[in-house]
A and B are shown apart, each in its own frame.
Chain A
Amino acid sequence: MIGTDIPRFGPGMKLRHDQARDRWTVMGPERMFLPDETALEILRLVDGTRSVDAIIDDLAARFAAPRAEIGADVLAMLADLATKGVVRA
């Protein structure tokens, strides 16, 4: 994925709050993932309209961290999530 791509959830993939266990879960066809903190922050911004760049800007501002550093993390995480089929460009 590159900066201008707009990530969206893959077919059948959803981020859902699990009330009984008070945690966020990625729900997919016959599988569930518990996203780690970084993945969760990113996935909460995946809405089918925000670009990768916009997600990086948002997180860099919120965590007051250097944009390059956050950008590398976000791209690596999105690549990983894409291999798992959770998101696609």
Chain B
Amino acid sequence: MTEPPLALLAELTHRCPLQCPYCSNPVALNGPGEELSTAEWTRVFQEAAALGCLQIHLSGGEPMARRDLVELTAAASAAGLYTNLITSGVLMDAPRLAALRDAGLEHVQLSVQDAEAASADRIANLPGGHAKKLVAAQLVRDAGLALTLNAVVHRQNLDRLPDLIELALAMEAGRLEVAHVQYYGWALANRAALLPTRAQLDAATATVTRARAELRGRLVIDYVVPDYHASRPKACMGGWGRRFLAVSPAGRILPCHAAESIEGMVFPNVHDTALHAAWFGAEAFTRFRGTAWMPAPCQGCANAEQDWGGCRCQAFALVGDAAATDPACALSPHHHLLAEALDEAASSDSSYRYRRL
């Protein structure tokens, strides 16, 4: 039986003052004119809550670029959703944050690009951005809101993981999310500049293990391991169409925020489809739900209901077939592609193709 989703990722806009080369937004970004209106989002939030979602992530792009963010937060909260704001922090100020808190915001997830300002600003291609984030963190604490620091890590910042942990402590964040880049969309275009080395990864894993033990009760560290050095894939999104759904700025209803990277898939839109109908009935959701769709070697594999065959977007990006076993799995006939990408990265420079409209 298909269970209802637990969380909605609402990508309110693709507008963003930053240009991170690993941005998880699609390469073909939605323009401001395509964005859903306040009333449309409000309806989507109500539908999500009625469907069974408990939590909403107000995300983007930069959600604070939406002038109606306070209204949207109030609407999400009124619908009974636990509201989380995923922000770069560079557009934050005290009055706006106070208004968001009063509208029912419960948690802020603030991203940093590095622990060191010069490097962070280069990665985001926004001079002065990092300094604004430090101010934003203080504003969140002053407002009495729970704070998570999010750091996307890769070859060009992974060596400063200990400093990122220090930064989280200095910010009095309750959680630190250390997420290795996932390679599709923009990140795939920048893969050679971003893939970490095995030595970097091993050092990072040791750092996290040590810090978790030392900081028990003070800081929770969530660590998303990278696929390229793995032999088993991750259960992407907890399985396709099992726990999460996302809505894009233009209203497309997606099983995962990256799903639009899979060419040839047709996604329902909130303009003509209710979330309930999309979740339970749309081909885009039923296509890779469960295990029936699986090819060999996943079919019948003991791990099928643990990792659900891995990431469909990664399978499409690397193999050209969204229904293939995730090549991150050592049992995939395409697993060698990952080692080849690591070799290529080892001899590549660190220039980026920045995320732009």
Contacts and interface: CB of A to CB of B under 8 A. Distances in A.
Interface of A: 10-14, 16, 18-21, 25, 27-30, 32, 82-83, 85
Nearest to B51: A20
B146 A29 contact: yes
Contact of A85 (B4, B80, B84, B220): B220
A30 B4 contact: no
Contacts of B144: 11
Interface in B79-114: 80, 82, 84, 106-107, 109
Contact of A30 (B54, B84, B145, B217): B84
B175 A29 contact: yes
Given A10-B174, A30-B109, 18 more contacts: A10-B146, A11-B146, A11-B147, A12-B174, A18-B52, A18-B54, A20-B4, A20-B50, A27-B54, A28-B107, A29-B84, A29-B107, A29-B174, A29-B175, A30-B107, A32-B54, A32-B55, A83-B217
A39 B67 CA distance: 41
A25 B107 contact: no
Contact of B6 (A11, A16, A32, A85): A32
Nearest to B144: A11
A28 to B, nearest CB: 8
A33 B145 CA distance: 20
B222 interface: yes
A23 to B, nearest CB: 11
Contact of A27 (B55, B220, B222): B55
A85 B55 contact: no
A79 to B, nearest CB: 10
A30 B175 contact: yes
A18 B50 CA distance: 11
A36 B333 CA distance: 44
Given A12-B146, A14-B82, A30 B51 contact: no
A76 to B, nearest CB: 16
A12 B52 contact: no
Given A29-B146, A30-B222, A11 B52 contact: no
Nearest to A17: B80
A12 B54 contact: no
Contacts of A21: 4, 52
Contacts of B177: 30
A16 B146 contact: no
15 contacts: A10-B146, A11-B144, A11-B145, A11-B147, A12-B174, A14-B82, A19-B80, A20-B51, A27-B54, A29-B107, A29-B109, A32-B6, A32-B55, A82-B217, A83-B216
A10 B219 CA distance: 13
Nearest to B216: A83
A28 B55 CA distance: 9
A30 to B, nearest CB: 6
B216 A30 contact: no
B148 interface: yes
Contacts of A16: 54, 80, 82
A53 B227 CA distance: 49
A82 B218 CA distance: 11
Given A20-B51, A20-B52, A30-B175, A12 B217 contact: no
Select the residue from A21, A29, A30, A82 with max chain B CB neighbours within 10 A: A29
Interface in B110-147: 144-147
A25 B69 CA distance: 27
Contacts of B217: 82-83
A32 B6 CA distance: 10
Nearest to A12: B146
B21 to A, nearest CB: 24
A16 B77 CA distance: 13
